[in-house]
């Protein structure tokens, strides 16, 4: 690098520059690649994303951006989990695994002005880290940061994941992203306010204490019992069903209390789904069984089971993909 800019390169960072770096919203970084060519790239973030802990170190906290050519998955090792154990024990760098593409309705709109509350329990926190990164990346691109409050429920601090990432997001966002760790069984040495924020189960009272009066979207992800209890608590605060988005990773679906506004929104969605068939003929080719089906009938999986067929299935929610079959022709409209 010195051969390209000898005069500009110092072996130390002057004191006044070290302070200045902390206020910058962007920086142009340069280097020389392995072929000897210089390159420069602009990195941006909220002031504070560049720090200089001493006169020879500059730290730039710039995360991977949306559009990176890879997906990241986070898998918790379960003592009785066949797949999680296999991934942890057998899969190595460079291995190829077959995976279903991301899909579904559980995603966050970074352009929305309304603040959002992300509540995750256990490994249900994994989509929340992706949503938080997306909000930060979009804020860098558009200069609009959707305010987030993240509530992370876990039994112990050892069972938490991504805590540091969320705390970094708080700093990066200048406090527009707030993170609360709620632990039900802290150890005796752990202190509230230092190691975690509250000892509790998340209830309507917790939400009243943490959230200022406002109109929020709520995103929930966790075990079915947690989600149902929390959904009911949030509804008891007068939050409309349409404002609550949920993703379960267990077999049970959320039982919702539908209100008038949510029914209206659902009706609009249905009108928009122009290609959705009201009725069709289902034909199971191997068994030769055929029947008429209309939009109010049970699912295709249930139809098959009702007729004694035994297709593969697991979640019964359209999440796991076990019951998916190959589309030979035509198109499908799929709602979860």
The rounded distance, in Å, linking the Cα atoms of 218 and 181 is 17
Judged by beta carbon, residue 187 or residue 336, the one nearer ligand FES is 336
Which H or E element spans position 138? helix 126-142
Q: How far is the CB of 55 from ligand FES (least distance, A)?
A: 57
Judged by beta carbon, residue 7 or residue 100, the one nearer ligand FES is 100
Q: How far is the CB of 117 from ligand FES (least distance, A)?
A: 28
Judged by beta carbon, residue 210 or residue 316, the one nearer ligand FES is 316
For binding to ligand FES (CB under 6 A), which residues are involved?
301, 313-316, 318-323
And the tokens for 7? 């005069």
Q: How far is the CB of 230 from ligand FES (least distance, A)?
A: 23
Q: How far is the CB of 312 from ligand FES (least distance, A)?
A: 8
Task: Name the residue whose CB lies closest to ligand FES.
Answer: 323
And the tokens for 330? 């035509």
The rounded distance, in Å, linking the Cα atoms of 220 and 14 is 47
Judged by beta carbon, residue 32 or residue 252, the one nearer ligand FES is 252
Which residues are CB-contacts of 71 (< 8 A; sequence separation ≥ 6)?
A: 99, 102
Judged by beta carbon, residue 282 or residue 315, the one nearer ligand FES is 315
And the tokens for 18? 């070290």
Q: Report in angstroms the alpha-carbon separations of 141 from 85, 136, 144.
A: 38, 9, 8
Contact 110, 146 (CB under 8 A): yes
Q: How far is the CB of 77 from ligand FES (least distance, A)?
A: 22
């Amino acid at each position: 690098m010195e051969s390209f800019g000898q005069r500009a390169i110092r072996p130390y960072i002057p004191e006044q520059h070290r302070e200045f770096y902390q206020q910058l919203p962007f920086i142009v970084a340069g280097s020389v690649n392995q072929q000897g060519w210089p390159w420069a790239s602009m990195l941006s973030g909220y002031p504070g994303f560049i720090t200089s802990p001493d006169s020879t170190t500059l730290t730039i906290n710039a995360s991977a951006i949306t559009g990176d050519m890879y997906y990241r998955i986070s898998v918790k090792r379960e003592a009785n989990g066949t797949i999680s154990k296999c991934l942890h024990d057998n899969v190595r760098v460079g291995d190829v695994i077959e995976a279903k593409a991301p899909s579904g309705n559980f995603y966050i709109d970074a352009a929305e002005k309304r603040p959002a509350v992300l509540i995750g329990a256990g490994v249900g926190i994994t989509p929340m880290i992706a949503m938080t990164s997306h909000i930060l990346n979009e804020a860098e691109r558009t200069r609009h940061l959707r305010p987030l409050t993240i509530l992370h429920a876990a039994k112990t601090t050892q069972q938490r994941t991504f805590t540091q990432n969320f705390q970094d997001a708080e700093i990066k966002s200048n406090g527009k992203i707030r993170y609360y760790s709620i632990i039900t069984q802290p150890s005796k040495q752990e202190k509230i306010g230092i190691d975690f924020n509250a000892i509790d189960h998340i209830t309507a009272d917790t939400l009243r204490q943490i959230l200022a009066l406002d109109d929020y979207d709520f995103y929930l992800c966790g075990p079915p019992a947690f989600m149902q209890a929390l959904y009911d608590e949030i509804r008891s605060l007068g939050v409309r069903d349409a404002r609550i988005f949920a993703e379960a990773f267990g077999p049970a679906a959320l039982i919702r209390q539908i209100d008038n506004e949510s029914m209206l929104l659902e009706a609009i969605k249905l009108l928009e789904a122009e290609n959705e068939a009201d009725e069709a003929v289902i034909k199971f080719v191997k068994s030769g069984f055929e029947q008429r089906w209309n939009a109010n009938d049970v699912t295709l999986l249930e139809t098959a089971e009702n007729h004694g067929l035994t297709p593969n299935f697991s979640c019964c929610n359209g999440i796991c993909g076990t019951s998916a079959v190959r589309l030979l022709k035509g198109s499908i409209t799929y709602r979860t």
